[in-house]
A and B are shown apart, each in its own frame.
Chain A
Amino acid sequence: MCLAVPGKVIEIFERDGTTMAHVDFGGVRKEACLEYVPDMRLGDYAIVHVGFALQRLDEATALETLRLFRELGELDMEFGDHWGRAAADAGLPRPAGTGTPQGGQARQAGTPMEGIRP
């Protein structure tokens, strides 16, 4: 939840007197509020936390972080199927009205820590 994900501003618009944007997070598109970084322009990158841009970021850094997050499955943790994951973790059927009945994927265990090769 405390993850802040770099995203690219692809459209800026106003809603109820508030500056909003469509932001692309490596293929996932979400709305974000720009009120806290008011000088954002089209094509700029920012770190975005729960739908709010908090700080401008340069493109190279943003793309590198996005690549890492994608590899690590962090983008799915942030934007993915929370009910499915919770159901799989709990070993219970997903509640009615929470989307597709196929169920989600439990969080995966990482590799064992042995044979360290510094």
Chain B
Amino acid sequence: MKYLDEFSDPALARRLLDDIRRTVTRPWAIMEVCGGQTHSIIRHGLDQLLPAEVELVHGPGCPVCVTPLETIDKALEIASRKDVIFCSFGDMLRVPGSDRDLFQVKSAGGDVRVVYSPMDALTIARENPSQPVVFFGIGFETTAPPNAMTVYQAKKLGISNFSLLVSHVRVPPAIEAIMSSPRCRVQAFLAAGHVCTVMGTSEYPPLAARHRVPIVVTGFEPLDILEGIRRTVRQLEAGRHEVENAYPRAVREEGNPAALAMLRDVFEVVDRPWRGIGMIGGSGWRLAAQYRDYDAEYRFDVAGLRVSESTACRSGEVLQGLIKPHECEAFGQQCTPRNPLGATMVSSEGACAAYYLYRRLQVPAQVDQVPAQVDADAAQREQVTSVG
């Protein structure tokens, strides 16, 4: 959608872009937190429509990408066990663990099932009472209430063969960690719209004040993102650092009260490691004590796993906005959607996948190293290499 006339409302897109151009007087680095927004930006070429002064820095809001390698390895170990039915969202299938992924576990005979909703996993548990059924509960604040409700239901209905492998993370501590890094160059944030649909906006004013950064709650569609950027640039140029809601059709200041109440009942805040980034204090949730029987980490003995991360993968720097995907030496070379070294290359929200799928970048041509293939991936690869 690099052409204005491809927007659903070209006149509005032009007005937003004109306003940004008129307002901006110097360079600004704005981080979009959410990987869904990153994909929208790269797919539609929004960053290339903006004036050169406005740089978009891609953030860590890809749940698949930041799930710790150790948790992925635990999932793979549990999924490989005889009798276990392991349920997951589809985008976890090809996330690389230390030596394999869920797709390979399934191919080797493991009972891995893709579900649309965690409630589907609960139904599977009910229909297979003699087998342990585990759901891989990853995600940010948007996905935590569905998983919380599922565990609540499992307990209420006494579905004792169900458990959740929990790896939930929270956005505000990640913003705090990014702003506290000595290498940080982010000057403003587009906050993730649907996270705020659940949580509301009350966690953000202290962050905006402490770090003197504008935080603008932003949606996911191209016009939403332009509007979020427009409001952010206006604040930056005026020297303001406030929390604004540019996505009012889906976000209320108080969030979703019923979902928040369920989160408070089922989860408790814990420190969590983020893949490629490291430990962030208070950045995650685990099941509260009264739901411990439904925690897969307690139910399955998966201690003693030896994790092994790719040394070539720089996804941690990508996730912190320190480098762009194509600045990683492995990008498009050893690391492609076919052979991903890091989760950022496989997830539908990962920045590396977005750059690989939607943008021709200067990848040095090494066509002779690419095996002849006639499928779509090879065609994509050829497109990428043909430009450099």
Contact = CB atoms under 8 A, between A and B. Distances in A.
Interface of A: 1-4, 16-18, 30-33, 35-38, 47, 49-52, 54-55, 57-58, 61, 64-65, 67-68, 72, 77-79, 82-83, 85-93, 95-98, 105-118
Interface of B: 2-4, 8, 17, 34-36, 43, 45, 48-49, 61, 63-64, 89-91, 93-94, 103, 106-107, 112, 114, 116-120, 139-140, 142-143, 145-146, 149, 153, 156-157, 192, 194, 197-198, 220-221, 249-252, 256, 258-259, 262, 337-338, 346-349, 353, 357-360, 373, 375-377, 379-380, 383, 387
The 5 residue pairs across chains A and B that have the minimum distance between CB atoms: A51-B117, A82-B90, A106-B376, A110-B358, A95-B106
Nearest to B91: A1
A17 B152 CA distance: 12
Contacts, number: 187
B93 A86 contact: yes
A1 B18 CA distance: 33
B142 A4 contact: yes
A113 B107 contact: no
Given A2-B34, A49-B146, A52-B149, A86 B8 contact: no
Main secondary structure of the interface of A (DSSP, over half): loop
B324 to A, nearest CB: 14
B142 A118 contact: no
A51 B377 contact: no
Contact of B377 (A61, A77, A89, A98): A89
Contacts of A106: 337, 375-377, 380
Contact of A54 (B3, B91, B256): B256
Contacts of B198: 54
Contacts of A17: 156
Contacts of B145: 36, 52, 54
A17 B43 CA distance: 43
B94 A77 contact: no
Given A90-B103, A92-B107, A108-B357, 12 more contacts: A1-B349, A3-B220, A58-B249, A64-B8, A68-B8, A92-B103, A106-B375, A106-B377, A109-B379, A111-B2, A112-B387, A113-B360
Nearest to A108: B376
Given A55-B250, A112-B387, A35 B149 contact: yes
Nearest to B45: A113
Central interface residue in A55, A67, A72, A78, by most chain B CB within 10 Å: A55
Nearest to B194: A4
Contacts of B197: 4, 47, 54-55
